[in-house]
Chains A and B, each alone.
Chain A
Amino acid sequence: MNEKLLVCSSLTKLFGTKQALTGVDLTLGSGKIVGLLGPNGSGKTTLLKLVNGLLQPTGGSVMVDGRQPGVYTHNIVSYLPDKMFLNDWMKVIDLIRFFDDFYSDFDFPKAMEMLQSLGLSSTERLKTLSKGTKEKVQLIVTMARKAKLYLLDEPIGGVDPAARDYILNTILTNYSEDSTVLISTHLIADIERVLDEVVFLKNGELTLHDTVDNIREQEGKSVDQLFREVFAC
């Protein structure tokens, strides 16, 4: 158990003059499934990219397992971006072999098993796959790693409800005390019961960080209902 798997201190990111994140303080321990919740443009993707070292902070710091994002953290962080990163010319099996070569913690049999459970063919070319199917393939290669920190940016947005259940189930069966899953989404109702904790982002600021059951106990309503009130348009 690591109580400080992820530590963000006064984390700030500016894009030009636009404040994407402002002074975010966030500490996550291992063995948790955490929801990163906020409306569009609230800074969810920016935060995940900073944790993965794809962006440099304008101010403050990010530490993953005590280190700044870099070679070491890339070994223990498995990141599912919100955009497609697949090479279209590859076949599904090529991509899986590529990941298997690239990451020492990649579990090849597990990836194949997940492909089969989702009824996907390993010989199809990625460019022939639908958007939702591509997302499933991306998620498979992300989850087939034995990482300490999984950063999933909108993993369930584009897939059908049955696949959504399978994905949540995969996250649950994959659960270990040594790893933490940070999931950004706005589909809260679907995901609420698998979460330990939720983090609310609003206009780049962290407005709430608590456990799902504390919120239900104190507010007498689900996180989904609370979200709708806090972010009512």
Chain B
Amino acid sequence: MGTEWKITNDRPIYLQLTEQIVQRIVSGQYPPASKLPSVRELAVEAGVNPNTMQRAFAELEREGLVTTNRTAGRIVTEDVAMIENIRGQLAAQKIEEFLEGMELLGFTGFQAAKLLTQYAKLHPALEGQTEEQLLPASGEASLAKGEGAL
């Protein structure tokens, strides 16, 4: 099992479900071209109304991230470039948020980046990984693309 479903109070439930399914797709929990669990299964798993889950999927189909195949059910898109692009956009968003937070603490962008690198080197969870593994070339490329799209 991957991440838990999390529903907050302030926003429509279907939007939150959409975001969390996208998260599962870009993180590879639902790999490209794989079959998705049924709406009913996911609704029960998330403890939400099946119609709301259905609406979240309709949204993803509209965006082209998910397609419905009459025989095989719902499939994640095979378009890896599209998934990478969205992943880059989401990463760029997270970085923006991080930088905004750091700015509130009085750090410039470069200072924040330096601190982040230092932290990554010291963080126990990342121990044993080389800098190359921390910053894979494809990650950099997709991030650049994501920023371009913003």
Q: Is the CB of A213 within 8 A of B14?
A: yes
Contacting residues, chain A, for B48 (C-beta < 8 A): 172, 193-194
Q: Is the CB of B7 within 8 A of A217?
A: no
Contacting residues, chain A, for B43 (C-beta < 8 A): 172, 175
* Nearest B residue (CB) for A173: B44
Number of interface residues of B (CB under 8 A): 19
A168 interface residue (CB < 8 Å to B): yes
User: Chain A contact residues (Cβ within 8 angstroms of B): what range?
Assistant: 20 to 34
Q: Is the CB of B49 within 8 A of A222?
A: no
A29-53 interface bits toward B, Cβ cutoff 8 Å, 1 = contact, 0 = none: 0011100000000000000000000
Among B10, B14, B49, the residue within 8 A (CB) of A221 is B10
- The smallest beta-carbon distance between B51 and chain A, in angstroms, is 5
A224 interface residue (CB < 8 Å to B): yes
Among A31, A196, A221, the residue within 8 A (CB) of B52 is A196
Q: Is the CB of B40 within 8 A of A175?
A: yes
A196-233 interface bits toward B, Cβ cutoff 8 Å, 1 = contact, 0 = none: 10000000000000001110110011101100000000
Contacting residues, chain A, for B130 (C-beta < 8 A): none
Q: Is the CB of A196 within 8 A of B10?
A: no
Q: Is the CB of B47 within 8 A of A172?
A: yes
A133-160 interface bits toward B, Cβ cutoff 8 Å, 1 = contact, 0 = none: 0000000000000000000000000000
- The smallest beta-carbon distance between B40 and chain A, in angstroms, is 7
- The smallest beta-carbon distance between B125 and chain A, in angstroms, is 32
10 further A-B contacts with Cβ under 8 Å, apart from A173-B40, A173-B44, A222-B9, are: A168-B47, A172-B43, A172-B44, A172-B47, A193-B7, A212-B52, A213-B55, A216-B10, A217-B11, A221-B9
